[in-house]
Amino acid sequence: MTRTKRYDWVDFMRGIMMFLVVLYHSEVYYGSGHSWSWIFEPFFLSGFFFISGYLFTRDITKVDFMSKLKQVFRAIIVPYFIFVIVMAFPKIVLGHSNAQQILIDIVMLRASWFVIAIAVMQLLYAAILYIRPSVPSIVVSTAFMFLIGYAFVLMYRDCQQWWVENLWLYSNDLPNRLPACLNLALVQSPFFALGILFKYFEGSILNMSFVVGGVNR
């Protein structure tokens, strides 16, 4: 059995960002909105995408799409359904939310955007690197995906009526999320790609820092 290598800085970074997530949502639930948590809002979740990209693969030339698909299904999709169904049950029973909309949001993979966005990124980059495993393909694909994601974000500001009236395409409870949270995932693609590229060039970056710091003198 192969043991996964752990990185202290990754664990430390995860801990900091988990704390910021709790802090961010606590201010929403118990405070008066985002009066000060906006300070770290731009980067605390993006950091998770960076880490996910960093841990995505050891070698971009050896990414197997089917293996990654099975891994994502087992490690993300199955836990997603378990978690959101458990969380939805009391809301439905107590009648605090629209049961039909909740169930549709679960099926359309938008009930918990962050984990689904991570899954989408994993599969998209697995496909990209399976087809063309190179740094240029990562850079070009990322730019393309980000532009599409940003276009979707702008589109949601002025949705067509037929789109808004379709519960499968548009959620009144979660109005900013496409099915599978595709728009949110694509907007975060630069951070995921940055993690992949940092991993790829990590050795060169560290060697360069040693030289600059005078270690090799």
pLDDT in tens, 123-137: 999 999 999 999 999
Q: How does the average pLDDT of the chain come out, rounded?
A: 86
Task: Name which residue leads in pLDDT, 135 or 90.
Answer: 135
Could you give the percent of the chain with pLDDT greater than 90?
A: 53
In sequence order, the 6+-apart residues with CB closer than 8 A to the CB of 126 are 63, 64, 65, 68, 69
Could you give the percent of the chain with pLDDT greater than 70?
A: 85
Per-residue pLDDT, averaged over 178-190, amounts to 94
**Residue 173: half-sphere exposure toward Cβ, Cα within 13 Å:** 19
Within its chain, how far is the Cα of 80 from the centroid? 13
The terminus-to-terminus CA distance of the chain in angstroms comes to: 41
pLDDT of residue 154: 82
Do 195 and 49 meet the contact criterion of CB atoms below 8 Å apart?
Answer: yes
Q: What does the block give as tokens for 102?
A: 């909740």
pLDDT tier at 217, thresholds 50, 70, 90? very low
pLDDT of residue 113: 92
Per-residue pLDDT, averaged over 170-183, amounts to 89
pLDDT tier at 55, thresholds 50, 70, 90? very high
